[in-house]
Chains A and B, each alone.
Chain A
Amino acid sequence: MTTDDGRALSKPERTGGYYHLLKAVIYRDLLIWVRYPLNAALGIFMGVFFFALMFYGGTLVAGPSFSDSIEGLIVGYFLWTLSLGAYSGIMNDVQSEASWGTLERHFMTPFGFGPVVFAKSIAIVFRTFMTSAVVLVVMLLITGTALNLNFVTVLPVATLTIAGALGLGLVMGGLSVLYKRISNVANLLQFAFIGLISAPAFDIPWLRVLPLAQGSAMLQRAMLEGTRLWEFDALTVAVLVGTSLFYLGVGYAVFGLATRRARRLGVLGDY
């Protein structure tokens, strides 16, 4: 390939790869987060505030016996904030990018839209982990509770659990690419998360295939009873990995299909 005057036209040199993509996406996500400081601070404050409301309200109503189940409440609440952040984060991100006018630029990359959005999802999970960890620490301080925080167990179980929520977030992200404003539907699902997190997956086997349920049950055991990752039986771990990857895969596929449909309708960059 040459220009009109015969100069050689070579392929633009690629100096970066997936590492640079992920690093840049995480860094951008954190920058945007801190540059809306009031929103960032209020997010953490509201997380703590609602927990404090539940804790003091519960103690007031149920008396000292409420504190018997406080560890379970803390773990459930922690997982809920984490799931919610991952789930709504990607949906909100897609909507924000569309309204800022930057969404289409993320489509036109040599990595492809899917991998870029997936990198954004990881960035959102990373940030949500940080903010939820702050909320967790404050919750433990408020209630004077101690939990088994074995990171070798908690991190992979929580990450896989969140992967399922992320899959649902990608479904919603795909729908928001297509239909733009879907917050009313999305908000409904937030409440469903409470049910999924509190589902007794170890007692009712079929509940294990639902998103979040298996991971939540495992996380409760790990943080309350000190069960280590390798102490769970292989089937339990396999179900967690399988359901998480399944929901993530479904989310990714739906996102891809929705994007294709949006391109067919010519509404990809609309908001």
Chain B
Amino acid sequence: MASEPSNTAQAPSNGTSTDAGEGPPSLGPDEAAIYVDGLAKTFGSGEDAVTAVEDVSFAVAPGEVVGLLGPNGAGKTTTIKSILGLVLPDEGEVRVHGIDVHANPRAAYEYVDAMLEGARNDYWRLTVRENLRYFAAIRGQNPDAMAERHEEVLEHLDLAEKADTAVRDLSRGMKQKVSLASVLAGNVSVAFLDEPTLGLDVESSLKLRKELRRLAEEHGLTLILSSHDMDVIEDVCDRVVIMNEGRIAVDDTVEDLLAGFETKGYQLTVRGVDDAVLNDLRGRFELSDIQRSGDRARFEVAADTETFYRLTDAMEGHSLDIVNVETVQPDLAEAFVEMTRGEFGADRADENTAPTGEQPAGHPPTSDGGERR
């Protein structure tokens, strides 16, 4: 995992929802690779109005890798599309390398590209190389002059052997990599990647994570990742911005975020237990996941340090042998669920992706991770 602390983190790392994202970002608009201040967007009007994003502010330093997380309908896609100029916000300022994206989009697009539709980001009837050449040209590059760069990206993503194969003849995961290659080959300094590892096998996913870190560290590429795969976020990102109900709930480094949850629970294995003792402990402490075999029991307890010591005192009072104690280490997924109050994955009628891909006008855009085609 990346260790560079973010200089834009605004939330205390206690793992709770905070007022993160409110107020101006700590990096100035000209210092940040991405600068968002007071972003707001409401779709529709009157009773049908849906506020997708409200007062969102954050900044991303050049070369920083940020994960943008949130349950369905949290406002991630609207935020990303507003930053990219694909959605016109009602309020707020968005800058890429100091350039106002909405006032001067063509200048901003010199720096930024995005993979928003997963494997659907390319032409399936064209070969891998033809795709790279085409998207280079529409990004203002001479494809011939970029040939070496294209070969390098294809090599790094294990696509070199498939360079002259039509994308439609590739596997789902390979298609995903082609989409990624066509973004990374464009020589941009800021890239937005929506579900970059979707459909990849474990080995490819690990390799891709390494490649993204390499690009950030060696080339100063600024990355914004949106993913439901917490392992990817944990491995690749310097920092996470968690959105919930259109606002930023948490903006913190991955390390600090996890540290805030580190001592929230313990797993204990004890010997000498019987029903009466166990009932007594259950009545006094929040035991969970209890597994008992004879006089031996293993359970988890949600406790801070003070409560933990009270528990050990109580067990000593019952003459129990404490065989093992482990701190329950939360992963990012648990932290995420906790901070979004268990709304992860919850269906929201206002932002469901229609299976046909059709969506009434005036509703917040949603990402489908490139599944519809």
Q: Is the CB of A266 within 8 A of B138?
A: no
Query: Residue A108 contacts which of B64, B84, B98, B142 (CB distance < 8 angstroms)?
Result: B84
Knowing A28-B126, A105-B138 are in contact, say whether A263-B86 is a contact too (CB < 8 A). Answer: yes
Residues of B within 8 A of A178 (CB): 361
Nearest CB in chain B to that of A19: its residue: B142
Knowing A1-B98, A7-B220 are in contact, say whether A15-B146 is a contact too (CB < 8 A). Answer: yes
Q: Is the CB of B141 within 8 A of A263?
A: no
Question: What is the CA–CA distance of A269 and B85 in the complex, to the nearest angstrom?
Answer: 12
Question: What is the CA–CA distance of A27 and B111 in the complex, to the nearest angstrom?
Answer: 25
Residues of B within 8 A of A9 (CB): 33, 62-63, 97, 189, 220
> How many residue pairs at the A-B interface have CB separations less than 8 Å?
177
B318 at the interface (CB under 8 A from A): no
Which applies to chain B's interface (DSSP): helix, strand, loop or mixed?
A: loop
Question: What is the CA–CA distance of A220 and B359 in the complex, to the nearest angstrom?
Answer: 46
Q: Is the CB of A112 within 8 A of B121?
A: no
Q: Is the CB of A263 within 8 A of B85?
A: yes
Question: What is the CA–CA distance of A12 and B187 in the complex, to the nearest angstrom?
Answer: 6
Q: Is the CB of A109 within 8 A of B138?
A: yes
Q: Is the CB of A32 within 8 A of B138?
A: no
Query: Residue A111 contacts which of B111, B116, B140 (CB distance < 8 angstroms)?
Result: B140
Q: Is the CB of A28 within 8 A of B362?
A: no
Q: Is the CB of B121 within 8 A of A264?
A: no
Nearest CB in chain A to that of B135: its residue: A105
Q: Is the CB of A1 within 8 A of B359?
A: no
A14-25 to B contact mask, C-beta < 8 Å, 1/0: 111100110111
Of the 9-residue stretches A73-81, A96-104, A225-233, which lies at the interface with chain B?
Answer: A96-104
Knowing A16-B145, A270-B365 are in contact, say whether A11-B111 is a contact too (CB < 8 A). Answer: yes
Q: Is the CB of B138 within 8 A of A15?
A: no
| Interface residue ranges of A1-42 to B (CB < 8 Å) | 1-5, 7, 9, 11-17, 20-21, 23-25, 27-28, 31-32, 35-36
A240 at the interface (CB under 8 A from B): no
Residues of B within 8 A of A100 (CB): 120, 123-124, 373
Knowing A100-B124, A100-B373, A268-B86 are in contact, say whether A20-B137 is a contact too (CB < 8 A). Answer: yes
A221 at the interface (CB under 8 A from B): no
Question: What is the CA–CA distance of A110 and B125 in the complex, to the nearest angstrom?
Answer: 25
Knowing A266-B78, A269-B117, A270-B357 are in contact, say whether A110-B139 is a contact too (CB < 8 A). Answer: yes
Residues of A within 8 A of B114 (CB): 104-105, 108
Q: Is the CB of A265 within 8 A of B141?
A: no
Which applies to chain A's interface (DSSP): helix, strand, loop or mixed?
A: loop
Residues of A within 8 A of B373 (CB): 99-101
Chain B nearest CB, measured from A136 CB (Å):
28
Q: Is the CB of A111 within 8 A of B120?
A: no
B343-357 to A contact mask, C-beta < 8 Å, 1/0: 000000000000001
A271 at the interface (CB under 8 A from B): yes
A107 at the interface (CB under 8 A from B): yes
Residues of B within 8 A of A109 (CB): 106, 109, 138-140
Query: Residue B142 contacts which of A16, A264, A266 (CB distance < 8 angstroms)?
Result: A16
A116 at the interface (CB under 8 A from B): yes
Instruction: Tally B residues with Cβ within 8 Å of A.
Output: 71
Knowing A9-B220, A263-B87 are in contact, say whether A14-B125 is a contact too (CB < 8 A). Answer: no
Q: Is the CB of A266 within 8 A of B105?
A: no
Query: Residue B126 contacts which of A17, A31, A267 (CB distance < 8 angstroms)?
Result: A31
Query: Residue B61 contacts which of A4, A21, A108 (CB distance < 8 angstroms)?
Result: A4
Q: Is the CB of B362 within 8 A of A265?
A: yes
Question: What is the CA–CA distance of A11 and B33 in the complex, to the nearest angstrom?
Answer: 12
Nearest CB in chain B to that of A112: its residue: B106
Most A Cβ at <10 Å: residue of B78, B123, B124, B126: B123
| Interface residue ranges of B158-176 to A (CB < 8 Å) | 166
B134 at the interface (CB under 8 A from A): yes
Q: Is the CB of A106 within 8 A of B61?
A: no
Residues of B within 8 A of A35 (CB): 125-126, 166
Chain A nearest CB, measured from B249 CB (Å):
22
A91-128 to B contact mask, C-beta < 8 Å, 1/0: 00000000111101111111110001000000000000
Q: Is the CB of A107 within 8 A of B121?
A: no
Query: Residue B138 contacts which of A5, A21, A99 (CB distance < 8 angstroms)?
Result: A21
Knowing A9-B189, A104-B86, A108-B112 are in contact, say whether A266-B134 is a contact too (CB < 8 A). Answer: no
Residues of A within 8 A of B41 (CB): 266
Query: Residue B63 contacts which of A4, A28, A268 (CB distance < 8 angstroms)?
Result: A4
Interface residues of B (CB under 8 A from A): 4, 7, 30-31, 33, 41, 43, 52, 61-64, 78, 81, 84-88, 97-98, 105-107, 109-114, 116-118, 120-126, 130, 133-143, 145-146, 166, 186-189, 220, 357-359, 361-365, 370, 372-373
Across chains A and B, which 8 residue pairs bring their CB atoms closest together, nearest first? A101-B120, A24-B137, A101-B117, A16-B142, A3-B63, A15-B145, A3-B220, A35-B125
Interface residues of A (CB under 8 A from B): 1-5, 7, 9, 11-17, 20-21, 23-25, 27-28, 31-32, 35-36, 99-102, 104-112, 116, 178-180, 260, 263-271
